[in-house]
Amino acid sequence: MKKHDQDFMKRQNRLTVFQIIKNEQPISRAAIAKQTGMSPTTVSRIVSELTEEGYVHETEEQASAGRGRKSSLIRLLDTAVISIGVELDRHQANIGFIDVQGNVLCSGNFPRSSGDTPEATVARIADIIEELILECDIDRRRIVGIGVGLPGIIDVEAGIVNFSVQLGWKNVQLAERLKELTGLQAVVDNELKVKALAEQLKGSAYGSNRTVLLGFGNGVGSALILEGEIYRGVTNSAGEIGHTTVDPEGMMCDCGKAGCLQTYINIPSLLSEASKIKPVRTIEELFAERRAGTRWACYLIDRALAYMAITINNVVSMYNPDSVILSGEILDKFPEVYEEITNLCYTQYIWEPLQDSFTIVRSKLHEHGVIIGSGLVAQDRYFQLN
């Protein structure tokens, strides 16, 4: 992408103005100019451009700052842009329509099983989208694209799912097929990465500019947002901490190495460990055992929580973020562990000089994080091109 001409500059400025309106609406032109350092003239021009194109509008409201002419306030025309966010995992797909603010306008879902082919899944997604459009009376012209978030390694540029253990997919040209079936632009990205973006844009890390999100659930992963951009690394696998070694003399992992982080904290590992003593089917049962005070359950879960705290320390030491978001099935289902983990962090595991450099927060968007995030990624893509 060119980065050196006036066109790029203009786009950049349009985008900043748009973002500010999005985040701080209602806001006056003057305030935008002050904030960005642009001249009022420029802001005015951009705003009228955006108005003409139907993205924003001047409201009736007026704010007075004491003396002087009242500023007329600009707001998003929030139905101006709608995107579709899709969350794919082993057992189901969730689909939602997302507005510019990241609100879920309406949503649907369908169950799937791990054997389902990509083709079948894509077809089903397209169907549901059609249904939802009719059902919720969505204006088709407003839809700017589809974003899909799923667990796995994804080549975002190419829109290809390189590899997803959870879905059992390999080298699937997901974006292309979706585009063919729906006629909409499609983006595919890793679920944790889009979730992190969503949390930073409108969730619990709002205002942060170095955010790390940790996901503790069926898998273990992390995602890093730098300056509002998802950090992906060279092969799109940045943040794949599941196979970091935390105990070289520890348990064997499926991957053939010993002591991988995920063998201590992901749900399947916890269940299979537990099952050596007593058959436990679900993570709920395991936590129930713990609540009942069963010794081995306490041991397993306490160890997992300790490793989570250690992971926080290690991630913070490397990325030095200002905000760490805890998310994933374990935190969604058992919110009480959040306190336990943060306590462990501050009392035992975080290197003292770093203790005040960041805050630990819980994911705020919960089950909707991925569809909001992937929807917003789709919008980002749209705005970068328009």
- Site residues, DNA (CB under 7 A): 2, 4-7, 9-10, 12-13, 28-31, 37-42, 44-48, 62, 64-73
Smallest distance from a copy of itself to CB 341, Å: 14
Smallest distance from a copy of itself to CB 313, Å: 6
Smallest distance from DNA to CB 66, Å: 6
In angstroms, the CA 187 to CA 178 distance is 9
Query: How distant, in Å, are the alpha carbons of 67, 220, 249, 342, 350 from that of 304?
Result: 59, 12, 17, 13, 16
Q: Which of 68, 111, 115, 256 binds a copy of itself (CB under 8 A)?
A: 256
Number of chain positions touching a copy of itself (CB under 8 A): 62
Burial label for 154, CB within 10 Å (0-12, 13-18, 19+), is: buried
The helix (run of H) or strand (run of E) holding residue 61 is: strand 56-63
Q: Name 126's Cβ contacts closer than 8 Å, sequence gap at least 6.
A: 178, 181, 182
* Binding map of a copy of itself across residues 111-150, x = CB under 8 A, - = no contact: ----------------------------------------
Q: Which of 40, 54, 183, 233 binds a copy of itself (CB under 8 A)?
A: 233
Nearest to 146 by CA among 375, 382, 383: 375
In angstroms, the CA 186 to CA 40 distance is 36
358 is in the binding site of which of DNA, a copy of itself, none (Cβ under 5 to 8 A by kind)?
a copy of itself
Q: Which of 244, 285, 329, 333 binds a copy of itself (CB under 8 A)?
A: 244
Is 353 among the residues that bind a copy of itself (CB under 8 A)? Answer: yes
* Nearer of residues 138 and 324 to a copy of itself, judged by Cβ: 324
Burial label for 233, CB within 10 Å (0-12, 13-18, 19+), is: exposed
Binding span for a copy of itself by CB under 8 A among 30-38, 71-79, 365-373, 376-384: 30-38
In angstroms, the CA 89 to CA 217 distance is 12
In angstroms, the CA 194 to CA 150 distance is 9
Smallest distance from a copy of itself to CB 245, Å: 5
Do residues 327 and 369 touch, judged by C-beta distance below 8 A? yes
Smallest distance from DNA to CB 35, Å: 12
Q: Which of 185, 218, 314, 374 binds a copy of itself (CB under 8 A)?
A: 314
In angstroms, the CA 44 to CA 56 distance is 12
SS3 169: strand
* Nearer of residues 79 and 348 to a copy of itself, judged by Cβ: 348
- Which residues contribute to the site for a copy of itself (CB under 8 A)? 2-6, 8-9, 12-13, 16, 36-38, 42, 153, 163, 209-210, 222, 226, 231-248, 255-257, 260, 306-307, 310, 313-315, 317-322, 348-349, 351-354, 357-358
